[in-house]
Amino acid sequence: MKTNGGNRGWKGLLWITAAVVAVKGGWGVLTPAPAEAVALPSSPATENIAHRGASGHAPESTLPAFRLANRMGADWIELDVHQTRDGELAVIHDKSVNRTTNGQGAVKNLTLSQLKRLDAGSWFDATHPKQTVSYRGARIPTLEEVLLSQGKQGRFCIEIKEGLPVGVEKQVLDTLKRHGLLPRHQPERVMIQSFDPHVLKRIRQSHPRLTLVQLIHFREAGSLSRPGLQQIADYADAIGYHQRRMERDDIRRAHREGLRIHAYTVNRKKKMRQLMDWGVDAICTNFPDRLRDVKRERHR
């Protein structure tokens, strides 16, 4: 994962290029080049983030999905955490267990042992009848179990949802620390993302070296101004955009402010190729194998 500093290096190069183009092209003054005037680098290095694991192939947010993501060449696994009634951290996307298990109820109203009795795989078998593997009996994992499942090289993109108690952040950070995952490593092994800027600002205060990603809601993408990006750059390293709202110019504008830019959630190869041509830094996908293949095409 590059840092802000890394982005600033090649961002500077773009500005020099823009300046040379401006002078040669007769613009006369060093105004920012329009988007089409500067070719963005194609990004074979675009990072591969497996959204809720390889969730296109296995039930989301379960150990089989996370392990499969690893085998399919993901650089990172993305996951969401919720707190159980007895204060444990469970890895599950929704607030409730209704959609992805055979149980009912809000995670916060269930104990870990109640969660562990639920089947988090059969729903996937039922919705993917052509799959040859059965995931019946897969369980909701704890954060700790997911961290351990990825071995010593695992890299984790952890989303902290809006509206969770503040204590959840601290509990996530304490868990990461216990597992030696706070950023002493190179390459680093953790990034934290959230739609809630307050969560990220608090983490920046307590853990200034941790990579933070400000997720941008679908509805807000078009309204992100330059001052808005600059404010984000004060506390975060990257922004995460909905892929359908991402324009080529968004990538240029984010880079100009020293921010990396990620796209979520991209499942079609054609779209992956387009975003890579535009220079996106990371793609979050349910199909890390497809992104691996697209990246390989570019190395041939």
* Catalytic center residues: 51, 93
119 is an interface residue for ligand G3P by CB under 6 A: no
CB of 244 to ligand G3P, least distance (A): 13
Given a contact cutoff of 8 angstroms between Cβ atoms, the answer to whether 106 and 95 are in contact is: yes
**Shortest-Cβ-distance residue relative to ligand G3P:** 264
Give the separation between CA 260 and CA 237, rounded to whole angstroms: 6
Task: Tell me the window of 18-26, 38-46, 114-122, 155-163 that interacts with Ca ion (CB under 5 A).
Answer: 155-163
By rule CB under 6 A, what string of x and - marks binding of each residue 227-246 to ligand G3P? -------------x------
Among positions 61-80, residues that touch ligand G3P (CB under 6 A) are: 78, 80
* In the complex, minimum distance from the CB of residue 29 to Ca ion, in angstroms, rounded to a whole number: 43
Instruction: Return the one option of Ca ion, ligand G3P, none that residue 264 interacts with (CB less than 5 to 8 A, by type).
Output: ligand G3P
Say whether residue 80 binds Ca ion (CB under 5 A).
Answer: yes
Number of neighbouring beta carbons within 10 Å of residue 186: 7
Alpha carbon 131 to chain centroid, angstroms = 27
Instruction: Give the nearer residue to Ca ion in terms of CB position, either 51 or 290.
Output: 51
Choose the binding region for Ca ion from 27-35, 79-87, 173-181, 219-227 (rule: CB under 5 A). 79-87
Measured on CA atoms in the order 123, 126, 129, 132, is the torsion positive or negative? positive
Give CA–CA dist 74/68, Å, rounded: 9
Q: Which is nearer to Ca ion, 92 or 259 (CB)?
A: 92
Q: Pick the closer one to ligand G3P by CB: 171 or 194.
A: 194
Binding mask 250-289 for ligand G3P (x = CB under 6 A): --------------x-------------------x-----
Q: What binding mask, one character per residue, do residues 156-175 give for ligand G3P by CB under 6 A, x or -?
A: ---x----------------
- Give the HSE-up count for residue 113: Cα atoms under 13 Å, Cβ half-sphere: 0
90, 140 Cβ separation under 8 angstroms: yes
User: Which token pair is 121?
Assistant: 């795989």
What are the DSSP calls for 203-224, one per residue? Answer: HHHH-TTSEEEEE--GGGGGG-
Residue 48 tokens, joined: 């591969």
Q: Which does 240 bind (CB under 5 to 8 A by kind): Ca ion, ligand G3P, none?
A: ligand G3P
Q: Is 159 in the site for Ca ion (CB under 5 A)?
A: yes
Answer whether 4's CB lies under 8 Å from 212's CB: no
Q: Which of 215, 238, 259, 282 binds ligand G3P (CB under 6 A)?
A: 215
C-alpha distances in Å from residue 123, one per residue of 111, 130, 133: 21, 13, 13
Site residue total, Ca ion (CB under 5 A)? 2
Q: How far is CA 266 from CA 69, 160, 175, 270, in A?
A: 15, 20, 29, 10
Question: Which residues make up the interface to Ca ion (CB under 5 A)?
Answer: 80, 159
Question: Which residues make up the interface to ligand G3P (CB under 6 A)?
Answer: 51, 78, 80, 93, 159, 215, 240, 264, 284
